[in-house]
């Protein structure tokens, strides 16, 4: 009789378990938040702030001395000290009307009465060199104002004004049309001689009609005029 073979499953208690291979610990990925603004936005804000600062500087320092004509700008280049009066009625905010220190203001103009004497051409050049011109008188009120200023600090007899004769025609230095009705000539003036082609205010006359034509080489005082600066 054939013998039977019996198979049995045998487990050993001291059998070591299969080794477990551990990988490197997983690193936690940072959470990505969606970008709320573009990278160029801070630069744009910085540029805008800079432009605002520049605008403030212009408004506070430059605009106060801007004027519609070029003359005040030229005047400002030659003077650093100014005297200002209120440009509007009491209690209103309309700025100030300014003239260089030592000049005299009437309405919208500043006037300089010289203490030294020069001939006609030198007087015109001196006024131009200060950013002004020899005075142009266009009204009785202006003539009266200047007449009253004559001897406040220095005794003066004759003052050059900006009226010249050119080819039988009297012309103002700033091209303002000359009007006989707004002229203040002495009796018998202007004379017929063509050699007397400059004009002075002859103060000893004692009246508003005190203009006198003179030869250009004579040395006299002068009146310079410039538009006042509004700030």
pLDDT-derived band at 66 (thresholds 50, 70, 90) equals very low
Pairwise CA distance, residues 132 & 159, whole Å: 16
In this prediction, residues 169-193 reach a mean pLDDT of: 92
Cis? peptide before 190, omega within 30° of 0: yes
In this prediction, residues 46-69 reach a mean pLDDT of: 63
Residues 6+ apart with CB under 8 A from 11: none
In this prediction, residues 145-174 reach a mean pLDDT of: 90
Lowest-pLDDT range, 10-24, 75-89, 106-120, 136-150?
Answer: 10-24
pLDDT-derived band at 24 (thresholds 50, 70, 90) equals low
Q: What is the pLDDT of residues 48-58, one digit of tens each?
A: 888 887 876 55
Q: Which CATH superfamily includes the segment(s) 64-230?
A: Mannose-Binding Protein A, subunit A (3.10.100.10)
In this prediction, residues 87-97 reach a mean pLDDT of: 62
pLDDT at 26 over 90: no
131 to 27, 107, 119: CA distances (angstroms): 79, 19, 19
Cα dihedral value 17, 23, 28, 29, nearest 10: -140
pLDDT at 27 over 80: no
Lowest-pLDDT range, 19-23, 40-44, 151-155, 168-172?
Answer: 19-23
Q: Which residue has the higher pLDDT, 178 or 78?
A: 178
Q: What are phi and psi of 151, to 5 degrees?
A: -125, 35
Q: Which residue has the higher pLDDT, 73 or 38?
A: 38
Q: What is the pLDDT of residue 64?
A: 46
pLDDT at 14 over 90: no
E strands, 158-214, where? Answer: 158-166, 169-172, 198-202, 211-214
């Amino acid at each position: 009789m054939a013998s039977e073979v019996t198979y049995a499953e045998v487990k050993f208690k001291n059998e070591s378990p299969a080794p477990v291979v551990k990988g490197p610990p997983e690193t936690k990925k940072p959470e990505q938040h969606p970008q709320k603004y573009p990278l160029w936005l801070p630069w744009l804000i910085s540029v805008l702030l800079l432009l605002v600062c520049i605008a403030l500087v212009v408004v506070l320092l430059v605009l106060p001395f801007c004027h519609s004509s070029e003359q005040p700008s030229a005047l400002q280049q030659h003077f650093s000290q100014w005297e200002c009066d209120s440009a509007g009625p009491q209690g209103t905010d309309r700025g100030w009307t300014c003239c260089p220190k030592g000049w005299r203001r009437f309405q919208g103009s500043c006037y300089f009465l010289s203490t030294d004497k020069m001939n006609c051409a030198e007087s015109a050049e001196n006024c131009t060199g200060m950013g002004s011109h020899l005075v142009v008188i266009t009204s009785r009120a202006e003539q009266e104002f200047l007449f009253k200023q004559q001897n406040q600090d220095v005794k003066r007899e004759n003052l050059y004004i900006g009226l010249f004769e050119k080819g039988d025609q009297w012309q103002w230095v700033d091209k303002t049309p000359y009007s006989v009705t707004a002229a203040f000539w002495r009796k018998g003036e202007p004379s017929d001689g063509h050699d007397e082609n400059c004009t002075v205010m002859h103060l000893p006359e004692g009246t508003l009609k005190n203009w006198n034509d003179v030869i250009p080489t004579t040395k006299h005082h002068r009146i310079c005029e410039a538009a006042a600066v509004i700030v």
